[in-house]
Amino acid sequence: MNEQLLLEKIMFNVIQGRVAVHDEGFDDGMDGQPGVTELVKEAIDRRLSPKSIVLNGLTGAMEVVGEKFDQGTYLIPDMLASAECVGAAMDILSPHLVKAGVKSKGKFIIATVAGDLHDIGKNIVSIMLKGAGYEVVDLGADVATDQIIEAVRDHQAPFLGLSALLTTTMRVMGDVIAGLKREGLRDTVTVFIGGAPTSQEFANRIGADTHCKDAFEAIAVLKTL
């Protein structure tokens, strides 16, 4: 199998949501064929560039997944399956990327705010950011405002992502931004917000820098910064 064909197979299996050989995928008859983890390990064994695997195997695949999601042919569980493929691949690739001297694009702290236990959207964004080359500090769900502020200070991260899925918890995003201002940290970090009840209007109201409807928009915004 040549390099291009192997990268295409990785890309195809990410789109299919097949992490490993035992996964079925969206199309019939794929069970038993190598999945993303097996193919990425083969690519490493064959000394393919880790950066090439990320850019041509993973990133390209998630762009296709994003298009399918926008068109309505993929739903959130489908997108999550593909994101899990990217996460598994990045676990394998991370040490090889470091050895190859591929530098992080910067630290990105991400959290679901206090009182909110929803984390599927946050997890997808986290995985996508890793695949795009960012060092992600995922604080989890139901994270206290003070803990988020402390993480921004400790990690000196240039990016912060806040998620909320409830109208009762989205207001906590404003508390985080107010806390960053009190601590003199607001100007050191670009604040992204996301979640079903949020909007750009709400982002403007609480003083966030941008609102992103999903992981793909977050990546697109980061490319412009």
Checking if the pLDDT of 194 tops 80, the result is yes
Checking if the pLDDT of 202 tops 90, the result is yes
Residues 89 and 145 in one domain: no
Q: How many domains does the chain have?
A: 2
Residues 124 and 140 in one domain: yes
Residues 89 and 118 in one domain: no
Residues 124 and 211 in one domain: yes
Q: Which CATH number fits the domain that encloses residue 123?
A: 3.40.50.280
- Can you read off the two tokens belonging to residue 47? 């000394």
Last residue of one domain, picked from the residues 54, 75, 99? 99
Residues 75 and 172 in one domain: no
Residues 119 and 85 in one domain: no
Checking if the pLDDT of 216 tops 70, the result is yes
What digits encode the pLDDT tens for the residues 40-72? 999 999 999 998 998 889 988 988 988 898 899
Neighbouring C-beta atoms of residue 186, cutoff 10 Å: 16
Q: What per-residue confidence (pLDDT) applies to 55?
A: 84
Residues 95 and 111 in one domain: no
What digits encode the pLDDT tens for the residues 114-124? 999 988 889 88
CA distance 157 to 48: 31
Residues 58 and 148 in one domain: no
Give me the domain span that covers residue 95: 3-99
The residue type found at 177 is: I
Last residue of one domain, picked from the residues 68, 99, 130? 99
Q: What per-residue confidence (pLDDT) applies to 1?
A: 65
Sheet holding 159-163, edge to edge: 135-138, 107-112, 159-163, 190-194, 210-211
Residues 61 and 137 in one domain: no
Last residue of one domain, picked from the residues 99, 117, 147? 99
Crossing angle, helix 3-16 and helix 76-99, to 10 degrees? 140
Residues 115 and 163 in one domain: yes
Q: What per-residue confidence (pLDDT) applies to 8?
A: 94
What digits encode the pLDDT tens for the residues 148-192? 999 999 999 999 999 999 999 999 999 999 999 999 999 999 999
Checking if the pLDDT of 97 tops 90, the result is no
Between the ranges 64-73, 77-86, 138-147, 208-217, where is the mean pLDDT highest?
138-147
Residue 5: partners with Cβ closer than 8 Å, 6 or more residues away: none
Residues 59 and 87 in one domain: yes
CA distance 225 to 209: 11
Q: Which CATH number fits the domain that encloses residue 68?
A: 1.10.1240.10
The owner of tokens 């400790």 is 154
Residues 85 and 145 in one domain: no
Nearest residue to 179 (alpha-carbon basis) of 197, 156, 202, 153: 153
